[in-house]
Amino acid sequence: MGSAEPTRPAGGAAADGNDAEARRQLAVCNICNYCNGLCAVFDAAERRARLAPGDLDLLANLCHQCRSCLYDCQYAPPHAFDVNLPRALARQRWASYRAYAWPSALAVLFAGGGRWFPGLALGITVAFTAAVLLAVPSSVLFSAQVGEGAFYRIIPWWLMVAGAGLGFGWAILAIGMGVRRFWRTTAPAMAVSAPPAAAAATATLEVLTLTNQRGGGPGCADIDHRPSRLRRRFHHALFYGFLLCFAATLAASGYHHLLGRAAPYPLLSLPVLLGMLGGLGMVAGTVGLLWLAHREDPAPTDPDSRGADRALLWLLLAVAVTGLALLALRETAAMGLLLAVHLGTVLALFVLAPYGKLVHGAYRAAALMRDALERRGR
């Protein structure tokens, strides 16, 4: 027998990169299995005992950053097995965003934990605002504009629609291509699978309710080891707030095209009510999540990508706050500049969506779909 007594099992130095470390830790989890009631990751890992690279990406994106499994782990540091699965999967997840980014040339934007993101977001916002400042005469930009079509006297309707359409279309295309590559690489663990419609219904429900961010019932370790429901609630506020804002935009285009009425709309109109409610939800959600990021125990998080998480939250907060300010001050001389800044932040959000933390939603939905196909197919 060899005299060496390795204490980090399942062959592989941590230095071999994300894959090796995530695989090493999940191999411990796959034998222990004590955490399998916490979320979908552990059962899914057991189904793919080989832990191939695609498997690791799937598991990393199935992980909802609940963190309970670190505090519940008998092998967590300082144990020799050094299992910190939330951190290992956070690293793997970030690496997977980079690996599946489309076009590949832009994957570099994920480098260094997304260090380009804050500067680019600010740059796009400032550039757009500057363009408006240059293009729109000061007499128009800095005077109160009221009545139907007030916004379009600052930025022409066709430009607003083209900008939003191109930005949104770009985000959908780039994220869609990334998810397509992700879907093809994360091979199913088994041949049998459920009817896609039923699995899609399950996965959709899990996206909408964040089933996997319940820690198996009592909640997740949002701040320290104690079960909490804060992160899930803040995420709901942000997510549904975002959806309401999106719905406000759809309602506004309905007003425009079907009713022939140009913005701005009265306070008690559907677009404004939806937008106001959504904006408030987004503010509550982003502020809550930023507060959690400030308070949370850093142990289960990935220090390299923590900045990117916060950068996205700040951008979303900027979108919401400038939108609400625009609503509040739309009949004053500040409207022109606020409109420019708000649309600048929205443009930055769309253009950068495929290259920041926002992609997590798409990959997670795909991972939940894969998981639902396998679970229901069993």
Partner 1 sequence: MSIHSASPDVLVSGGGAAALAAAIEAAQAGAQVLLLDAAPPALRGGNTRHSRNFRCAHLAPTPFTPDAYRPDEFRADLTRTGADAADPALLDALVTGSAALPDWLAAQGVALQRAGDGRLPYSRKTAFFLGGGTAAVRALTDRALALGVQIRHGVGVTGLELDGRRVVAAVTTAEDVAAGAQVLACGAAHADPDWLRRHWGEAAAGFINRGTPHARGELLQWLMAAGAEPAGDPAGLYLVAVDARSPAHDGGIVTRIRGMPLGIVVDNAGLRGHDEGADTASTRYARWGRRLADLPGQTGWLVLDAAGLAAAPAALYPPIRAPSIADLATATGIDADGLAATVANYNASIRPPADRADAAGWRTAGLVPPKSAHARPIAEPPFAAYPMRPGVTFAHHGVAVDAATRVRWADGTQLDNAFAAGMIMAANLIPRGYVSGLAVSISLVFGRLAGRAASRCGGGDGQC
234, 208, 239: which is closest to 290 by C-alpha? 234
Residue (22 or 348) nearer to partner 1, CB: 22
Residues 310 and 333: their CA atoms lie apart, in Å, by 32
Residue from 13, 14, 79, 127 binding partner 1 (CB under 8 A): 79
Q: How would you label 235-259 residue by residue, b for 16+ Cβ within 10 Å and e otherwise?
A: bbbbbbbbebbebbbebbeebbeee
Residue from 180, 184, 226, 295 binding partner 1 (CB under 8 A): 226
The number of residues that bind partner 1 (CB under 8 A) is 42
Angle made by CA atoms 224, 234, 74, in degrees to the nearest 5: 25
Residue (68 or 125) nearer to partner 1, CB: 68
Residue from 69, 136, 210, 248 binding partner 1 (CB under 8 A): 69
Q: How far is CA 333 from the centre of its chain?
A: 35
297 binds partner 1 (CB under 8 A): no
295 binds partner 1 (CB under 8 A): no
72 binds partner 1 (CB under 8 A): yes
Residue (176 or 218) nearer to partner 1, CB: 218
Using the contact rule CB under 8 A, the part of the chain among 193-201, 212-220, 258-266, 297-305 near partner 1 is 212-220
Restricted to residues 8-47, the positions that interact with partner 1 (CB under 8 A) are 9-11, 27-28, 30-32, 34-38, 42-43
Bond prior to 53 in cis (omega within 30° of 0): no
Cβ 182 vs Cβ 57: under 8 Å: yes
- DSSP notation for 10-32: SS--GGG-HHHHHHHHHHHHHHH
Using the contact rule CB under 8 A, the part of the chain among 63-71, 149-157, 195-203, 234-242 near partner 1 is 63-71
Q: Give the number of other CB atoms < 10 A from CB of residue 119.
A: 10
Residue from 13, 49, 126, 201 binding partner 1 (CB under 8 A): 49
Cα distances (angstroms) measured from residue 368 to each of 173, 240, 242: 21, 19, 21
Reported as type and span, the H/E element at residue 238 is: helix 230-257
DSSP 109: G
Using the contact rule CB under 8 A, the part of the chain among 3-11, 153-161, 179-187, 345-353 near partner 1 is 3-11
Min dist CB 362 to partner 1, Å, is: 27
Does residue 49 sit in helix, strand or coil? coil
119 binds partner 1 (CB under 8 A): no
Residue (43 or 304) nearer to partner 1, CB: 43
Residue (156 or 218) nearer to partner 1, CB: 218
Residue (42 or 242) nearer to partner 1, CB: 42
50 binds partner 1 (CB under 8 A): no
313 binds partner 1 (CB under 8 A): no
Residue (103 or 218) nearer to partner 1, CB: 218
Residues 236 and 214: their CA atoms lie apart, in Å, by 13
Residues 166 and 172: their CA atoms lie apart, in Å, by 10
Residue (3 or 138) nearer to partner 1, CB: 3
Residues 366 and 97: their CA atoms lie apart, in Å, by 13
Residue from 22, 45, 58, 71 binding partner 1 (CB under 8 A): 71
Binding-site ranges for partner 1 (CB under 8 A): 1-2, 4-7, 9-11, 27-28, 30-32, 34-38, 42-43, 49, 68-69, 71-76, 78-81, 215-218, 225-227, 375
